[in-house]
Structure 1
Amino acid sequence: MLMKWLAGIFLIGLLAYAGWNIYAVQKSPKEGIEEGMKAPDFTLETLSGKSTSLSDYKGKKVLLNFWATWCKPCRQEMPDMQELQKEYPDVAVVAVNFTSSETNSQTVKSFADTYHLTFPILIDKSGVNADFNVLSYPTTYILDENGTIQHIRVGTMTKKEMKQKLDLK
């Protein structure tokens, strides 16, 4: 009789555990590069050689921008990105440079110095831009505090558009 009770309790516990796991998996967004998905994590070096991961910014809204120095629209939006970072320090502006298309890393550093950029510029020699299916520059991903992609924009964004997509006042 005691064995039947223990087996019943064990079975109920097992079913509850399975139900909870199914609920937890359905509740969290799948990883991917489309709106509503959790952005895939990556680790790259900054211009100063420090290793940085996208997951380091969890808990903050993120403007993840893919760009290159030779891209004229990228040059247009960089000052707006810098102003946004200054005005909203709780928002992470992260710029991933398409480094394999650059002459060298010094070109990227000179660009950052010219535009007085203070947000992290990540050097992409490993193909993260391809992982995000970036076909045109600039391409910007807006992520919420949990790393979920809220918006994808191919082309230049103004500061006003950045604020709107980040839901800033």
Structure 2
Amino acid sequence: MNAISTVSRLLLVTTFFLLYSCKEEEKITEMDLLFSSLHDDQAKWWRYHKTNIDLSSDFLPLGEDGDSISKKAFFEALLTGEFIAIEKKSNAARDQYQLFKLTKESDGDISYTISADSYREYKHFTMEGQQFPDFNLKDLDGKTYTKEALLGKTLVVKTWFLNCKPCIEEMPQLNQLVEEYSENKDVVFLSLSLDTKTELQKFLSERKFKYAVVPQQKAFIEDTLGFSIYPTHIIVEPSGKIRKVVNTAPEMIASLKSMNKG
């Protein structure tokens, strides 16, 4: 009888430790709780995503298990529509985003939205490191720009058109940037517009824009570069390779300044 009691007690102790270990492994994290509060409400998730996740930044991508993965693999997971990104809070210099898999209980609209939102950033990411296409462009003042002549310089390009409200609204910020680099002759600011020379000259007679302006570039922008969203900003390294492609002035400015620090 005593032997049986001893065995029973040992079994209970073993079971307790096994259960305790399982609970430790399944410990709920702050990120788990955040995911639980977001994944079944598309509007709530979207507000979080636009406020906290910047897929154009130099973030550290993490897989489902929290291990580092390639940026390509991270984007490809988001493009399936089966995952969302949650920011991992840390003291690291770079933002860290971790993949979380959607469930049957998740709002179905999230899947479509994350896939569509990630596509543009993925396309921009795949352009990084590629050679910027050859060009021979003439600005409104008659000055010619070619890729060959600009090798050895950093080229900052903006695509825009006159009826694009965001394109116009960011001009003061871009003018300030040009001023900051006015003493640096190794950085060239060039803008490609859809509009005609006459239309641009009329606009610029009333509003200052300190980039060099090249008219009627629809074919180069949309066919050669493959862009359909305006504005788009491209930073080209002195080697002629694309460093960064983004859609807002703050993103471009941050990347340019980071590049110069490096």
Q: Same fold (TM over 0.5)?
A: yes
Q: Which one-letter code corresponds to 2:220 in the other structure?
A: V
Quick one: which of 38, 48, 69 aligns to 2:141?
Answer: 48
2: CA distance, partners of 1:60 / 1:113: 29
List structure 1 segments (4+ residues) > 3 angstroms apart after TM superposition. none
SS in 2 for 1:114: coil
| Residue aligning to 2:192 | 96
2: CA distance, partners of 1:126 / 1:139: 13
1: CA distance, partners of 2:162 / 2:148: 25
| Residue aligning to 1:120 | 212
| Residue aligning to 1:13 | none
Quick one: which of 129, 150, 164 aligns to 2:254?
Answer: 164
2: CA distance, partners of 1:54 / 1:115: 28
Q: Cα deviations across residues 15-34 of structure 1 (Å, max 9, x unaligned)?
A: xxxxxxxxxxxxxxxxxx81
Q: Which one-letter code corresponds to 2:221 in the other structure?
A: N
**Bigger radius of gyration:** 2
Kindly indicate whether residue 181 of structure 2 is the aligned counterpart of residue 85 of structure 1: no
> 1:144 deviation in Å?
1.3
| Residue aligning to 1:146 | 239
Distance 1:114 1:146, change over 3 A: farther
Distance 1:54 1:126, change over 3 A: farther
- Indicate conservation of the 8 Å contact 1:37/1:148, yes or no: yes
Q: Which one-letter code corresponds to 1:78 in the other structure?
A: M
Farther-moved stretch of structure 1 (88-97 vs 43-52):
43-52
2: CA distance, partners of 1:66 / 1:56: 21
| Residue aligning to 2:151 | 58
Q: Which runs of 5+ in 2 are unaligned?
A: 1-125
Structure 2-normalised TM-score? Answer: 0.45
SS in 2 for 1:39: coil
1: CA distance, partners of 2:218 / 2:168: 23
For these two proteins, the number of residue pairs brought into alignment is 130
- Indicate conservation of the 8 Å contact 2:192/2:217, yes or no: no
> Alignment RMSD, CA only?
2.0
SS in 2 for 1:70: coil
| Residue aligning to 1:15 | none
Q: Which runs of 5+ in 1 are unaligned?
A: 1-32
> 1:84 deviation in Å?
0.9
